[in-house]
Amino acid sequence: MPDYKAFRVELNDKIAHVQINRPEKVNAMNADFWAEIVDIFRWIDDTDEARVVVLSGAGKHFSSGIDLMLLAQAGSALGKDVGRNAEALRRKILQLQASFNAVDNCRKPVLAAIQGYCLGGAIDLIAACDMRYSTVDAQFSIKEIDMGMAADVGTLQRLPRIIGDGMMRELAYTGRTIDGDEAQRIGLVNRTYASQEELLAGVLALAGEIAAKSPIAIRGTKHMIRYMRDHRVDDGLEYVANWNAAMLQSADLRVAMAAHMSKQKAEFAD
């Protein structure tokens, strides 16, 4: 595992802990961030030992979103022809989206642990994770509206599937800040914790629980749930039948069954 500038990455007990690591910049997402996150999640995807991911932010805040320098640069790189500018911007946006698609597409569950600010691009990021947990006093805001733009790296695409449609629109139109309590009430986070320490401990414990399950079963389950976000129930049923046609021939079922019979903990291969 190489070194990263915008992140600190560790792999312990089958849990990959990915930490945004620019606390002095409120973990703002700079060019390094957008490039490295793709590499990190490709590495996780390819590393059998990593079975589950925890994504957190170093320091007092999760992240303040995209680094405004990046936006300014993109603006100043434009030329005179509106059409050619549009082509360039379109490709740039698709490239930024690819960074968070890497999180969404990761074959292993990603748990976000959020404290302090979680603003703008940070909402786009956590919307691409599997589950979200926060401190009670975390602060969430779809900040893009105040930059004069529609959010374009995932919030408007993924969040409506997670929280209610009516509140989704209110938050997106107003940029209103909500805390952990309200976030839990509307389904944005699964659970809140009193402090950052308890948050991280709680999320790592949950990650450990997931890491102990059959990796084949966990990856299949994630794949199915993601598939259902965009497909019909009948297609989903047929899809899982195809999938399990191969996966039920894996040893993991026998391992699980034997453990169940002997009342012992199952040990699954990576």
Provide the annotated active-site residues. Answer: 66, 121, 124, 144, 152
By beta-carbon proximity to a second copy, the closer residue of 21 and 171 is 171
By beta-carbon proximity to a second copy, the closer residue of 58 and 167 is 167
Residue 259 beta carbon to a second copy: minimum distance, rounded to whole angstroms: 9
CA angle 205, 210, 214 (to 5 degrees): 150
Chain position carrying tokens 């733009």 = 149
The Cα 30–Cα 20 span in angstroms is 11
Residue 55 beta carbon to a second copy: minimum distance, rounded to whole angstroms: 14
By beta-carbon proximity to a second copy, the closer residue of 21 and 139 is 139
Residue 192 beta carbon to a second copy: minimum distance, rounded to whole angstroms: 13
By beta-carbon proximity to a second copy, the closer residue of 7 and 252 is 252
Task: Indicate the residue type of 126.
Answer: I
- What does DSSP assign to residue 57? E
Rg (CA), the chain: 20
By beta-carbon proximity to a second copy, the closer residue of 32 and 244 is 244
Residue 9 beta carbon to a second copy: minimum distance, rounded to whole angstroms: 21
**φ, ψ at 197 (rounded to 5°):** -65, -50
Helix (H) or strand (E) holding 92: helix 82-105
Give the three-state DSSP class for 62. Answer: coil
Residue 7 beta carbon to a second copy: minimum distance, rounded to whole angstroms: 23
The Cα 127–Cα 140 span in angstroms is 12
Tokens of residue 37, six digits: 């996150």
Contact 112, 132 (CB under 8 A): yes
